[in-house]
Amino acid sequence: MDTVVLEGATHKKAGPGSVPGVPAPPVKRPKAKKAKKAVVFFEVEILDAKTKDKLCFLDKVEPNATIGEIKSMFHKSHPQWYAARQSIRLDPKGKSLKDEDVLQHLPVGTTATFYFRDLGAQISWVTVFLTEYGGPLLLYLMFYFRAPFIYAPKYDFTTSKHWVVHLACMCHSFHYLKRLLETLFVHRFSHGTMPLRNIFKNCTYYWGFAAWMAYYINHPLYTPPTIYGEQQVRIALIIFLFCQVGNFSIHIALRNLRPPGSKTRKIPYPTKNPFTWIFLLVSCPNYTYELGSWFGFTLMTQCLPVAFFTAVGFIQMTVWAKGKHRSYLKEFRDYPPLRSPILPFVL
């Protein structure tokens, strides 16, 4: 009797098609779909940094959008301000944000407010350097060949009798040809453009000094160094050439630190090239070698305008070197502490 009851209970629980006495297989339940995380879009308003007027409102901006992408969106509504001309800031008087800065990593809420400043018409750095360096090369050669209307008519298209004048022309031409070739094939610029108005100031500096130096070095009344004579000129030539090679070596080393198309910054270190070993003591040895080149050229020509150009260049390069040195110290905690900006242990 008990057996009949048990079998009846078993048959009652079994489903259709089941074998008596064998428990039914577990029923598979469909897996619940994972809920997708909702993307929180940003609202971006761009105000004029001077007037505080609203220039643009961008709705549904993705949180991983970069400042460069925001500039492109802004350019669509204001075609007269292309991306290179825009300065986007968090504060009207603050620093410009970098193009690679990501929106969600900035100290802003989901409704972000930025301030815009017009940087003015821009020009590429390649064009700037080609213009800056091409001018001195051509101007110096005009004075060297004594083109008309520079000196007295009887000296038109004549040559100097002093061999140091010809040597100085070769060194000056070599220097600026090297700069032009480095601009085209070596340098990698972190900033693609600069304000167009600056090119007039820069060209006035380079072109003006080149003409001033060339006028006196190639003047018919020019006298070469007399105190130490040829020995002084030879020593000066060695200094000039040594520093030119050193300057080129540093530019190659700096170029190799930055992959093409990137803006990554790394600490420069000495390489197998002995000219780069100065990195052990100096943050900007390209300026150190540049200064040495013009010191050698000053010693070679013994010309006051050249000495003045060297002094002014030293002051300007010191300002640039100190700025880069501070930037290195701020960006890299493990930056070598023994380095000086431009002159080892001095400056």
For residue range 286-333, what is the model confidence (pLDDT) as tens digits?
999 999 999 999 999 999 999 999 999 999 999 999 999 999 999 999
- Interatomic CA distance for residues 313 and 279, integer angstroms: 21
Amino acid at site 180: L
- Interatomic CA distance for residues 13 and 236, integer angstroms: 108
Q: Which of 72, 101, 120 is the last residue of a domain?
A: 120
Average pLDDT of every residue of the chain:
88
Q: Which two tokens stand for residue 282?
A: 């100096």
Higher-pLDDT residue of 104, 299: 299
Q: Which of 103, 120, 137 is the last residue of a domain?
A: 120
Give pLDDT, residue 104. Answer: 86
Q: What is the mean pLDDT of residues 5-13?
A: 44
Main-chain dihedrals φ then ψ at residue 112, nearest 5 degrees: -95, 140
Neighbours of 267 (CB within 10 A): 14
- Angle at which helix 285-301 crosses helix 229-257, to 10 degrees, equals 160
The answer to whether residue 253 sits within a structural domain is: yes
CA distances 50 to 47, 53, 93, 118, Å, are 9, 8, 9, 10
The answer to whether residue 158 sits within a structural domain is: yes
> Is the pLDDT score of 71 beyond 80?
yes
pLDDT band for position 13 (cuts 50, 70, 90): very low
> Are 222 and 309 members of one domain?
yes
Burial of 40 (0-12, 13-18, 19+ CB in 10 A): exposed
Question: Which residue bears the tokens 């540093």?
Answer: 250
The answer to whether residue 324 sits within a structural domain is: yes
> Are 248 and 137 members of one domain?
yes
Closest CA to 323 of 334, 313, 331: 331
pLDDT band for position 20 (cuts 50, 70, 90): low
> Is the pLDDT score of 10 beyond 50?
no
Percent of the chain with pLDDT over 70: 88
- Interatomic CA distance for residues 203 and 51, integer angstroms: 34
User: Please, where are the H alpha helices in the chain?
Assistant: 2-13, 67-77, 125-144, 163-185, 197-217, 229-257, 285-301, 304-331
- Full-model pTM: 0.80
- Of 49-58, 163-172, 229-238, 268-277, least confident by mean pLDDT is 49-58
| Structural domains in the chain (count) | 2
- Of 21-25, 121-125, 168-172, 307-311, least confident by mean pLDDT is 21-25
The answer to whether residue 199 sits within a structural domain is: yes
Bridge partners for 333 per DSSP: none
Give pLDDT, residue 29. Answer: 65
Give pLDDT, residue 255. Answer: 92
> Are 178 and 238 members of one domain?
yes
pLDDT band for position 18 (cuts 50, 70, 90): low
> Are 175 and 257 members of one domain?
yes
> Is the pLDDT score of 69 beyond 60?
yes
> Are 84 and 203 members of one domain?
no
Q: What is the mean pLDDT of residues 255-280?
A: 88
Question: Which range marks the domain in which residue 71 is found?
Answer: 42-120
The CA dihedral of 302, 304, 305, 308, to the nearest 10 degrees, is 110
Q: Which residues contact 171 (CB under 8 A, 6 or more apart)?
A: 237, 240, 297, 300
Q: What is the mean pLDDT of residues 170-193?
A: 91
pLDDT band for position 33 (cuts 50, 70, 90): low
> Are 157 and 93 members of one domain?
no
- 92 near 115, Cβ under 8 Å? yes
Higher-pLDDT residue of 275, 12: 275
Closest CA to 240 of 189, 182, 168: 168
pLDDT band for position 174 (cuts 50, 70, 90): very high
Q: What is the CATH number of the domain that holds 62?
A: 3.10.20.90
Pairing mode of beta strands 111-118, 122-124: unpaired
> Are 250 and 281 members of one domain?
yes
Q: What is the mean pLDDT of residues 118-135?
A: 92
Give pLDDT, residue 290. Answer: 97
- Of 21-35, 192-206, 316-330, least confident by mean pLDDT is 21-35
pLDDT band for position 34 (cuts 50, 70, 90): low
> Are 167 and 49 members of one domain?
no
> Is the pLDDT score of 14 beyond 60?
no
The answer to whether residue 7 sits within a structural domain is: no
Neighbours of 180 (CB within 10 A): 15
Q: What is the mean pLDDT of residues 243-269?
A: 89
pLDDT band for position 63 (cuts 50, 70, 90): confident
CA distances 149 to 154, 159, 191, 204, 305, Å, are 11, 15, 41, 21, 21
Bridge partners for 42 per DSSP: 61
Give pLDDT, residue 21. Answer: 54
